[in-house]
Amino acid sequence: MDYSDSLIPWLLSSKIPTIRFKTYRNLLGYDLNDPTLIKEYREIQTSFPVQDILDRQVILGQWPYLNHYYTPKYVSTHWSMMLLEELLIDPQDARFQKAVEFMLNSTQADIQKRLDFNNPGFTCLWGNILRYVIYGGFINDPRTQDMITVVTKSLTETECKCEINKNVPCSWGLVRSLWGLSAIPPEKRTSEINEAIQVGLEFLFVKNSVVKSNYPLADGAKTHPLWGKISFPLFYQSDILHILRVLIDLNQVSLPQAQPAIQWLQFQQKSNGRIRGSNPYHRRTWPIIAEHDDIDRWVTLYALEILNKAELAN
């Protein structure tokens, strides 16, 4: 069913310029040089919520706590950078660039240690960092390349086993690893990166089922309830919508084994085509969503992009 007559005006009525920009660009196909997109992009950089998050820096390139990139959740430097990349901050913004440098410097010793001891550790973290440092233009930086090596080895050698997950493969870590690698332009993906991506896709869609979520679990553990929900924003977690977004970035939405997940997503649409989203960390992160309607807009926007591309692929 075509919901465009009702959904597009609803999405474009958002107060968040990123939602409007992505609607024009990803759903309506506007060219980047179109005056409407130029106007919306300019507003992204100069208004809520990007400027609100940037204004919370305690020194150039860092959010609280000073010199702690991971805590407090979900307002410290790492999490703020994840949000800014999603919101389409200008990657050349000086405050964003400085924060990329801070993150690469802060993780460099840990990454080197993990390379030396062949222990990738928390690849959900490394994958998420890759996402925004590549967005910031640091793909050729040796520190970024080392992080890519850690993530690719984690996928190909262990399927992202994690000590926090009692050393069984972690589906969240695996998805977030793919999320980072999918930011690498195809022409810059080495054979090792491509192999890692294929290992990840096989784990998610061939060996296991995204919809059933029958991934390996540590003894006594249960599938996290967020897996079957549709949420925005998410941080180190993942859900079915997010996995399908990764497929879009990898140009793999036509993967036959992904069809049950795409059908599941389609089933989440209400009679008006909208999807109800949740915001599980709204009390712990920056107030980037003004109203609950915008959570629904975020998830509906991403779902429509997936469903449209899936339809074109078939």
pLDDT at 2: 63
Per-residue pLDDT at 120:
87
CA distance to 1, 151, 212, 292, per residue, from 5 (Å): 11, 42, 33, 22
C-beta neighbour count of 112 within 10 angstroms: 13
Q: Is the dihedral of CA 165, 169, 171, 174 positive or negative?
A: positive
Q: Which residue has the tokens 């179109």?
A: 34
Bridge-partner residues for 168, per DSSP? 162
Q: Report all structural domains of the chain as residue ranges with CATH numbers, in order of start.
A: 4-313 (1.50.10)
Question: What pLDDT does residue 110 have?
Answer: 96
* Contact by Cβ (8 Å): 141, 204: no
pLDDT digits 0-9 by tens, 215-267: 988 777 788 899 999 999 999 999 999 999 999 999 999 999 999 999 999 99
Q: Which residue in 297, 312, 306 sits closest to 9, CA to CA?
A: 297
Cα dist. 74→41, 202, 208, 236, 264 in Å?
A: 25, 31, 30, 10, 29
Question: Residue 137: its pLDDT value, please?
Answer: 98
Mean pLDDT, consecutive 10-residue segments, the chain of 314 residues?
A: 80 96 97 98 96 96 96 96 97 98 98 94 94 98 98 96 88 96 98 98 96 86 89 95 98 96 97 94 80 87 96 74
- Looking at residue 53, what is its pLDDT? 95
DSSP states along 76-112: SHHHHHHHHHHTT--TT-HHHHHHHHHHHHHHHHHHH
- Could you tell me the sign of the dihedral formed by the alpha carbons of 61, 64, 68, 69, in that order? negative
> Could you write out the three-class secondary structure of 44-62?
HHHCCCHHHHHCCCCECCE
The confidence score (pLDDT) of residue 219 equals: 78
The CA distance from 154 to 169, in Å, is: 10
* The pLDDT of residue 291: 58
Supply φ then ψ for residue 3, to 5 degrees. Answer: -100, 10
The whole-number pLDDT of residue 273 equals: 95
What confidence score (pLDDT) does residue 164 get?
A: 83
Query: What tokens does 269 get?
Result: 């649409």
